[in-house]
Amino acid sequence: MYINEAAEYDKLMRRRMIAGMDAIVTWLNNEDAYYGSWIYDVPDMATEEDLNDIADNDESFRHTVGHFLRIMERYGKDGIYFNNELITKDTQ
């Protein structure tokens, strides 16, 4: 893989990671996780341009990943609400 291809692949993976984290925070069963702080890092209804801006900036990317981890540590125990079903660590 050429250096340019590797850099583009890295950017693509960063964008996908940010989009995935955004989806998870949106689905958390606690609105404070989203509206309390996440929305200031990843805008509501984030566009590709928004995701690119975060992914392309090393400082913003690292900050957003760290913020996601802190949110999960604090609110992850509340579970994820997906398809009208609450899923927790105890869900079988």
Q: How many domains does the chain have?
A: 1
Cα dist from 55 to 71, 85, 86, whole Å: 19, 31, 30
Task: Calculate the CA 43 to chain-centre distance.
Answer: 11
Residues 8-15, mean pLDDT to the nearest whole number = 91
Domain membership flag for residue 92 = no
Summarize pLDDT for 14-73 with one digit per residue, the tens: 999 999 999 999 999 999 999 999 999 999 999 999 999 999 999 999 999 999 999 999
Summarize pLDDT for 59-79 with one digit per residue, the tens: 999 999 999 999 999 999 999
Residues near 6 by Cβ (< 8 Å), separated by ≥ 6? Answer: none
Domain membership flag for residue 76 = yes
The structure's pTM equals 0.88
Query: Which structural domain range is residue 44 located in?
Result: 3-87
Residues 53 and 80: their CA atoms lie apart, in Å, by: 27
